[in-house]
Structure formats: structure tokens, C-alpha cells
A = this chain, B = another copy of it.
Amino acid sequence: MIITLTTDFGLSDPFVGIMKGVILGIAPDVQIVDISHDVQAYDVLQAALVIDSAYPYFPDRTVHVVVVDPGVGSARRPIAAISHGQIFIAPDNGALTTVLGDEVHAITNETVFLSSVSRTFHGRDIFAPAAAHVARGMPVRNLGPSIQDFIKHPVPQPTRIGDKLLATVLRVDKFGNLITNLRRRDLNPNFTIRVAGRPVKRLCLTFSEAKSGELFALEGSTGYIEIAMNQDSAAEMLQVRQGAEIEVETGIANH
């Protein structure tokens, strides 16, 4: 069985290693995979986007633990969900926005918690042991009652204003590619994307077909349109960060 971890804990502190100790103490044979521990602190939408891009590449019954948890210790519930044949465990704060389906349970079964639960580190005390018990075979329904009123934030969608489409930069990756919330279908043959005042008019299939210094659009590996440069950082060149607005001139009026 596989347990994946997605957090905003970073790797400098021992937080992630401690979670792994708890998991392996309960489920010694599990394979643990780090998805990312560099989610922007407290940014539940980023966490939701990250797990959404990763889970399709994991086998059925993988248990995904997502801990971006600004409300740790407050009344927000821990939840466990079954979706797409996999299991997702997280605080009920929108961090699973992209994956929650029909079956969601509040985690109330304290027998799966560590014997002493802190107010500040539920990754260690609740989420890690709950995931380990599920990976060992405990049915998700044993974690607690089914709920319907879980939190699901909308992922920002492009908005049409007149003949324009207002979109946004969802994430910037390590190479400086701007991952937008646009899809291939949003771009007409004669599209112009405007980002930080610069026009982008070319859709490339690969990074390497672009000229050096050229800004271009590309359908990224997660299906979103990215603004990119060939062996250079679009983010740095444009001085653009997550959340930046971009505009698409579609050439089609909004009749």
C-alpha cells in the first residue's frame, strides 16, 4: 500500500519525518511518497491543485494525506474521502476541493488517533495514524460518520467579459512556467494572451520548438495552458507570480 504526503511543512523541520515515524509504527510495510511539502503556507487551494495533478498517477487504494491546516486545533473537522478509487485524508478546509466526491466521512474515531493529541500538530496526531490504519485495511467508514456538509471551494475559472476572457495564474512551477486556469478549448486559432502587458500569440507543442527569449503558450502536463519560455523562466522575465491576472483576446464578441 502507498501513502502520499502533501503539506506546507517544508523539509527543514522534522515534521514530515515524524509523520512517517507514526505511519511506519502502525503500517510497517507501507510505501510513503512525498508529493510536495512546499505548498505555500496556509494555501489550501494550492494543496488542492497539487494533489489533483498527482493522484491520477497512483494505483487504486492509494491513501493521500493532505495537511495544509491553518485551523489546526480549532473546530474544523478531519475528514476522509473515497474518490476515483483512492482515499484522501485532510482537514475539512477546502484542501480536497478538487477531488471530493460523494463519499466523505468525518474522522471521529479516536481509537485511530495517537494517545495524546496536541492542539498544533494534527498531521502527527490524527492524519498520519488515520492514514496508516486505512492503509493497513481499516475501512474508511470506520473512521467516522458520513457527512455532506464538507467544505469545497471553487477553483477559479476564466470569466468572459465582452470579447475577452479574464484568467489567472494558478501556480508558478520551478522552471518559471506560469500554469494558468485556461484550457486548450479556451484558445481560438488567432488568440492573444496578455500577461504583464506582453502579448503571447503562439501555441507550441514542446518547449524546444520555441526560439530563445520567446514567450509562448503550451498545453502543460496537467492539461492547463502554461505561459513558458524555452530554457528560461517566464515568471522571472515577466515578474509575474501566482494569482496574477491574464487576459485572453478571443476575437469573438460576447453576443
Contacts and interface: CB of A to CB of B under 8 A. Distances in A.
Interface of A: 2, 4, 6, 9-18, 20-22, 24-25, 28, 31-38, 41-42, 50-51, 53-55, 57-59, 62, 70-74, 118-121, 124, 173-175, 205-209, 218, 220-221, 230-231
A12 B74 CA distance: 28
A33 B11 CA distance: 12
B206 A10 contact: no
B62 A21 contact: yes
B24 A208 contact: no
B25 A57 contact: yes
Given A11-B11, A120-B221, A33 B38 contact: no
B207 A10 contact: no
A174 to B, nearest CB: 4
A30 to B, nearest CB: 9
B38 A208 contact: no
Q: How many copies does the complex hold?
A: 3
Contact of A31 (B9, B22, B24, B124): B24
A55 B20 CA distance: 11
Given A25-B57, A54-B18, A207 B72 contact: yes
Contact of A124 (B41, B57, B71): B57
Nearest to A218: B120
Contact of A59 (B9, B24, B173, B230): B24
A119 B206 contact: yes
Choose among A11, A22, A121 the residue with the greatest number of B CB atoms under 10 Å from its CB.
A11
A205 B73 contact: yes
Q: Which of A2, A13, A174 has its CB near the most chain B CB atoms (within 10 A)?
A: A13
Contact of A174 (B13, B59, B230): B13
A73 B208 contact: yes
Contacts of A4: 17, 21
